[in-house]
Amino acid sequence: METGEVLAKTAIFVGLGAAIKIVLASIPNVEMVTLWIAVVVLVYGLKVGVMVAFLGNMVADLYIGFGPWTIFVSMGFVMVACFVWAAKPLLTGSLSYGLIAVAATILFDVFTVVTSMSLLFGYSVKMALFQQYGLFVPPAYYPFGWIHLGSNAIIFYVLANPLIKTLKKVNHQ
């Protein structure tokens, strides 16, 4: 791709990533930014995917609420982009997309929970991870990590292949 084409597509994909995050921000544990980053990486490559991962989150957080965690969440999405790129040879169908979603979500969650909760807010790493994926501890327990894992797995399983095929078709026209 030419430099101008890369910049234009990257700007469009960053805007779409930010819009996806903003629109779904009010629904707890349901996000499609991870899927969007994976699709961009698989169709347009790692360079565009990393830019979309980092900048898409930064732009969205300017609207949703920018905080000291924003840089860590953006870095977590960059890790997702790199992970998906490395896993590209393993992606053969809906089930593999669902499994990669689980692994990418765990990577993202562990990184962002440890950096945000531990480094910024002083939680121990053990407590931060327990809060994310801990066992049922009523009455205050909300299984964020498990719901995040399940929703991403389902979203990838259902939408990854159709989105990738559509973007590839649009890209070649």
pLDDT, position 3: 84
pLDDT, position 23: 93
Q: How far is CA 115 from CA 65, 72, 95, 110, 121, in A?
A: 18, 7, 30, 8, 9
pLDDT, position 120: 83
pLDDT, position 103: 96
pLDDT, position 62: 93
Separation of first and last alpha carbons in the chain:
14
CATH number of 3-171: 1.10.1760.20
d(CA 152, CA 35): 8
Classify the C-alpha dihedral 6-12-15-21 as positive or negative.
Answer: negative
Q: In the chain, which residues have pLDDT < 70?
A: 1, 134-142, 173
Q: What is the pTM of this model?
A: 0.90
Q: 137-173: b or e for each residue (b if 16 or more CB lie within 10 Å)?
A: eeeeeeebbeebbebbbebbbebbbebbeebeeeeee
d(CA 8, CA 15): 11
Q: Any residues with CB less than 8 A from the CB of 106 and at least 6 apart, and which?
A: 149
pLDDT, position 126: 81
Which pLDDT tens digit goes with each residue over 16-48? 999 999 999 888 777 899 999 999 999 999 999
- Token representation of residue 165: 């095929």
